[in-house]
Amino acid sequence: MSSASEPPADAAMPRSALAPPPQAHTGGSWTHRLARLCVRPLLGTPVTPNHLTTLRLLTGLGACLGVALGSREAEVWGGWLWVLSAFLDRADGELARIGGKTTAWGHTYDYVCDTVVTPLFFLAAGIGLRDGLGWLGAVLGAIAGGAILVSNIWSETAERRMAPGRRIHDGAGGFDLDDLLYLLGPAAWLGWLAPLLVAAAIGAPAMAVLTWLKLRRLRAAGAL
């Protein structure tokens, strides 16, 4: 998921954050289109993409806290906050693109938020399942979250060098691969975090390996 906004003074930014953002296209997935529609009224207002990214970060951390507490009520609230956070992660990028505010700083800020919040959710879910899974819940959460963290880093490494609009993992049917993250919300509402965590502890490392193989293949082909 990508975003952007106005940068602070260049002197305060590392060189890597000042590099051109990897993409400035409008997303074509259904969630991108819905987000684009929702943020249009914000054009010309004081609301910036970075404001939405910050709200995405806060709601994401709130979702992590909710599932970590482990009670059914907290899980439900955590699920709602997660869905809102995931949608804001679409909205900040769309506001940046249609508002002409796409910058490297905004993309880096969004990337860091994604890289922190998504793995943390799985770890928090594992902690919240301590009454049912014991210490195994935290281990499964750490495995899933760690694999997602590595995948995000490798994906970003590739996409910063790919042509604008290209992604290392293509979507299908009007959905991007990371649209799967929306399912974490319903899983929390329905009390299905335990089976989801087991599946993530298997699937996330497999996706990390696939990402690494794609990255290596692109490098070998001279595409990066």
pLDDT one-digit tens code per residue, 41-82? 999 999 999 999 999 999 999 999 999 999 999 999 999 999
Q: Is residue 161 very low, low, confident or very high in pLDDT (cuts 50, 70, 90)?
A: confident
Mean pLDDT for the chain overall: 86
Q: Can you spell out the DSSP letters for the chain?
A: ---------GGGS-HHHHSPPS--PPP-SHHHHHHHHHHGGGTTSS--HHHHHHHHHHHHHHHHHHHHH--HHHHHHHHHHHHHHHHHHHHHHHHHHHTT---HHHHHHHHHHHHHHHHHHHHHHHHHTHHHHTHHHHHHHHHHHHHHHHHHHHHHHHHTTSPTT--SS--BTTB-GGGGGGGHHHHHHHT-HHHHHHHHHHHHHHHHHHHHHHHHHHHHTT--
Q: What per-residue string of b and e applies to 134-171 under the rule 16 or more CB within 10 Å gives b?
A: eeebbebbbbbbbbbbbbbebbbebbbeeeeeebbeeb
pLDDT tens-place string over residues 94-151: 999 999 988 989 989 999 999 999 999 999 999 999 999 999 999 999 999 999 999 9
Residues 169-193 have a mean pLDDT of 88
Q: Is residue 164 very low, low, confident or very high in pLDDT (cuts 50, 70, 90)?
A: low
Q: Is residue 156 very low, low, confident or very high in pLDDT (cuts 50, 70, 90)?
A: confident
Asked whether the predicted pLDDT for residue 224 surpasses 70, the reply is no
Asked whether the predicted pLDDT for residue 197 surpasses 60, the reply is yes
Confidence (pLDDT) at 221: 75
Asked whether the predicted pLDDT for residue 212 surpasses 60, the reply is yes
* Structural domains of the chain, ranges and CATH numbers in brackets: 21-164+179-220 (1.20.120.1760)
Do 102 and 4 touch, CB atoms closer than 8 A? yes
Cα distance between residue 38 and residue 146, in whole Å = 33
Residues 165-191 have a mean pLDDT of 85
Q: Is residue 167 very low, low, confident or very high in pLDDT (cuts 50, 70, 90)?
A: confident
Cα distance between residue 142 and residue 127, in whole Å = 10
What is this structure's pTM? 0.83
Asked whether the predicted pLDDT for residue 24 surpasses 70, the reply is no
Confidence (pLDDT) at 165: 64
